[in-house]
Amino acid sequence: QVQLVESGGGLVQAGGSVRLSCAASGRTLSRYVMGWFRQAPGKEREFVASITWSGGTTYYADSVKGRFTISRDNAKSTVYLQMNGLKPEDTAVYYCAARYYNDYNFWGQGTQVTVSS
């Protein structure tokens, strides 16, 4: 079992930066791929970025490439999402998730990020 807790969300002006954190716990974290998703009101949840615990291989949605950076601190079992150049359309609840094989099986509670113009 993997438990995930997000933090770091809040209100930020357009063009600003926010760093989200996801504290993970579990005995076999190295087996999982960690991902960030987001969901805006009235919209479906969408993939943002992912990273592997072992090799640190990253993958990004086209909408955030060049602006967002996902990273991890294995010693702290924490995954980060550095969000720069924020836009109002980035406003959403951001979720941390863990995937084993095909599906993201574990999810955090989410943290709200609101970008004002």
Q: From CA 24, how far away is CA 108, in angstroms rounded?
A: 9
Could you read off the pLDDT of 58-111 as tens digits, one per residue? 999 999 999 999 999 999 999 999 999 999 999 999 999 999 888 999 999 999
Residue 14 clears pLDDT 80, i.e. is over it: yes
**Given 3-state DSSP classes, what are the helix, strand and coil percentages for the chain, each rounded to the nearest 5?**
10, 55, 35
Given a cut of 80, whether residue 28 has pLDDT beyond it is no
Residue 56: alpha-carbon gap to chain centroid: 14
Question: What is the mean predicted confidence (pLDDT) over 24-47?
Answer: 92
What lies within 8 Å, CB to CB, of 99 at 6+ separation is 32, 33, 34, 35, 50, 105
User: Cα–Cα distance between 17 and 20 in angstroms, integer?
Assistant: 10
pLDDT for 96 equals 98
Instruction: Return the pLDDT at 42.
Output: 94
Both tokens assigned to 88: 């109002």
Mean pLDDT of 45-65: 96
Of residues 20 and 101, the one with the higher pLDDT is 20
pLDDT at position 86 is 98
Average pLDDT over residues 15-44: 93
pLDDT for res 27: 77
